[in-house]
Each structure stands twice: as structure tokens, then as C-alpha cells.
Structure 1
Amino acid sequence: MAVGTRSRLEKTLVEYTMACTPNYVVILSLDTTTRGGSTAIARDAQLLALVRGDATRSHSERLPGEIAAALSEAGLLRADIDLLAVATGPGAFTGLRIGLAAMQGLAMTLCRPVIGISALDALADEVPAGTATLVAPWMDAQRGEVFAMLLDAASGRTLESPLAAPPAVVLAAWRAHLDGHTAVFIGDAAERDAALVAEAGAGQWSTRRPPPLAPALARLARIRAARGEAGLPQQLTPIYVRRPDVEIERERRERP
């Protein structure tokens, strides 16, 4: 990045942080951690637009059009955006990288700050308060595994850090937390693995089908921006949890 461009971005970030309050901010949020994904625009706590991704097409092919569609639905221009938010993973490696690159490019073009948010945090935010004592974001990680973590619903405290492992292994590791509690499993693998949860004897539990995550990303970004957590585009860091499939496959091929 050119020195002049970086200086301009940093100046804008300082000005934004000083001016940003929870009362007025326009946020463009993007999730590409799943095949479908979603794009949303929010002002304050109001959702202005939501575009669900077309899972039959690649993110790189459709992303510009979906962002344009969200802006059109909201009646806004790109220059009206105050803050960008993007899911940083875990998820499909290719989609994740495309989403991060797209938001980094927009942040540099518009000279706007950006916030990266875990898709697992966004899933947890979709569980209404008082529903259960534990929240378990539960994403399909392919290869017979899930991306998962376990949170205390009341405090939001992480009880079990994000990991990628077979569902039965995760449930066995969480058994001490789950016994005697109510838990909500939310994510695209939650209903699929309901029988495994039942077999594990995981206390009282239920599953929730995940909605598009872009609105939750916008909500969380608004809160975190008010705490001064907005950053520069080069500060975005993907959350892989495990090594990308392409690296694992390359290592397998190179073995003697």
C-alpha cells in the first residue's frame, strides 16, 4: 500500500472513531463463509437491505452484483457507507478469501474502516436471550467435521474455544459443560447432527437453523465500532481453525 494512501486511511480511521456513536452509522456487512452467504446494509439498529447469496454461482462471479443490489435496495450509494464488516471465518477457504479481499478493496477505495467478525460469533448472536444457558455454534466443516465453539449464553464467555473435529469428538469433549444445562446448537450442521447430540446425552438441547449471517455481522460491528475496534483493511485476519484443504492435499501428494 502506498504511504500516502495508508496515511489517508489512518486519518479517516481516527476521524471515524472520534465521530462514531451507537446512534448513527451505515454499515455494509458481508458473509462468504458458506456457499450461499449474504450481504446486508444497516443504519443504526435498522436493517435496510438483505441480499441472500446464490449458492449455484461462485462468490467471485456474483459478489459485485450482490453488493450493488443491497445498495440499491437500501437506496444508498457506496459513498454513504461509514463502516464495513466481514465474516473472517471459519468457513470454506476460497469463499473466505474472496470475501476478505472484496472488503479490503472497498475499504481502500472508499477510505473506510473495516471490522472482521467470526462467523461463530455471528451465529451465537442469532440465539435470543433467555433461550438456553449454553450456545453452541455448529458449522459444517466438510470432511466429516464441524467448526464449533461453546459459549455461556448469559455472559457471552467462551467455555470451549473454536475447533474443527468430528461431531462425536466435540460432544465428548464438551460433556462436562453440557450435563445439567440447556443448550442451543445453531448452524448449518446442527439439524444434521441432532441424532449424534441425542446419543451423546448432551443435557437438554435444541437446534436452530441459521438465518443469513450478514445482519448479525452488522449488529456486532456497530457495537464493536462504538468500542473503538474498527481497523485498517490490512489488519483483517482470516480465522481458519484448521489448515486449508489445499495445503493438506498438497502435503498428502508430496508424501513418499
Structure 2
Amino acid sequence: MILLAFDTAQGALSAAVSDGGDLHVAHFEERTRGHAEALMPLVDCVLKEAGIGFADLDALAVTVGPGTFTGLRVGLAAARGLALARSLPLVGVTTLEAIAEPAGAAADEITIATFDARRDEIYMQAFANDLEALTPPLLPGLGEAEAHLPQGNLLLVGTGAPLLAERLEKGARSFRLSPARPQPDAAALLRIARSRIEAQGLDAFRVAPEPLYIRAPDAKLPGGRDPGEAA
């Protein structure tokens, strides 16, 4: 099964392609803007390096949020367009899952995936070692974040990890910071998507995933409408 994955939802841009469980090609770069212009050239580059064309793909994977409104929509729109054009299944993976998967938790640790959401808030979710969600995706204020954490040894990963660590240092919680990348990486999307396809089958992903918004977008259209309400 040839699988293409890409991410534009947070502060990076990445794309990767695999065949039969082997990672063929993966590209990652930190990027806070310009995702729309850079995504498809990067996808083309990854496919060419792998010697694969769009007609060879069996499935797609993309991040669905939480993330920046513009970046998230860029990736989702591209993935939905490719899935529709090629009649491909599309697996949606949250950005929190994407950073939790490669975090490297020990057997006795709970992974806390977290992004800096600004405004003294963080996106946050707790995961067991098998990536089972122990909490829903949350958007607590930094002062309230500790109250949402499960009991146990914690592994913090993501751009919000240093912010959360500052709060935990004032208490008695046992934690450490993961050395993994704090941004989503398409290579992790591939592993998660492949596992889900193997468990559920391709047909379980024929309906395009919806974006995960925990906070309403800041931008407003004329008349005060939310961009997500646009036709």
C-alpha cells in the first residue's frame, strides 16, 4: 500500500510517502507562513524522489488540527482535493496525536502532547503508550492545565511543553521533556494512518475528515461571520 501524508497545520511543513511499511522519502521544514505556496511543490518533490506518481497512491493522510486556521485549511483542502480527484481514502490525524506518537515515552510514562496556543493557553491531550487518548483535546489556561493532567509520570512534548513544565516545576509532579520534534511530522502521520488502515480497512476512510477546532478562528469575514461558516 502506497501512502502519502502531509502536514501544514502548525509551525512546520512536511510530506512523506511510504510503501509496504517502509518510509521511502520524508521532508520536514519549520515554517510559520507560506504553506499554500510551498505544499504542492514539496509533495511533487517527495513523490519524484520516491519514483511514485499520484496514480500510484492507495491512500492519503493529513493533519486535522488543532492548528492555525490558515495552515490547517491549506492542508485539508489539498488532501480533500487529491482524495476526490483520485477516489482515495483519506485518514485524518490530529496534530496532538502526531507529536505524541514519536515522543518516546517509557512504559511508566503518560505522554502529554501540547502546543502553545498563545493568550496564556495551551492545546493539550494525554496519551497512553499505545496512543490511546486518556483525555479529550483541551484548551486550558496555563494556570488550570495541571488540574487536567492524569496521575503518573509525565512526558511533555510539543511547543507548549516548556510552558507547562514551568507550571509543573512549582508543584510535586514527576515529568520530563521529550527530545522529539515539537512540531507535527508527516513521517509520524504515515505510521498512525497505516496502523488505522490495517485495523479498520481502507473503506473506513472514504468520508473526508473534518477540521478539529478547539478555539474559534480569530479572523472574521464582513458582517462578523466566522471564516468556517463561509460557503
Task: Return 5+ residue gaps in structure 2 as ranges.
Answer: 226-231
Q: Runs of 4+ in structure 1 displaced over 6 angstroms?
A: none
Q: Which of the numbers 221, 244, 256 marks the counterpart of 2:193?
A: 221
Q: Are the structure 2 counterparts of residues 237 and 127 from structure 1 closer, same or farther at C-alpha, using a change threshold of 3 Å?
A: same
Matched, 1:95 2:71: yes
Contact kept, 8 Å, 1:31 with 1:99, in 2: the verdict is: yes
Deviation, structure 1 residue 122: 1.6
Q: How many residues align?
A: 220
Task: Return 5+ residue gaps in structure 1 as ranges.
Answer: 1-24, 252-256
Q: Which of the numbers 90, 102, 108 marks the counterpart of 2:84?
A: 108
SS in 2 for 1:245: coil
1:101-142 per-position Cα deviation (integer Å, ceiling 9, x unaligned): 000111112221111111111222113353542110011222
Matched, 1:84 2:60: yes
Identity of aligned residues (%): 31
RMSD between aligned residues: 2.2
SS in 2 for 1:162: coil
Q: Are the structure 2 counterparts of residues 151 and 56 from structure 1 closer, same or farther at C-alpha, using a change threshold of 3 Å?
A: closer
Matched, 1:245 2:218: yes
Mapped partners of 1:216, 1:54: distance in 2: 16
Matched, 1:231 2:205: yes
Mapped partners of 1:161, 1:74: distance in 2: 36
1:219-256 per-position Cα deviation (integer Å, ceiling 9, x unaligned): 11111112226423x531101122122259x58xxxxx
TM-score, scaled to structure 1: 0.78
Structure with higher Rg: it is 1
Mapped partners of 1:143, 1:129: distance in 2: 29
| Structure with the larger helix share | 1
Q: Which of the numbers 7, 12, 17 marks the counterpart of 1:41?
A: 17
SS in 1 for 2:178: strand
Q: Does 138-147 or 197-206 show the bigger shift?
A: 197-206
The match for 2:162 is 191
Mapped partners of 1:173, 1:228: distance in 2: 34
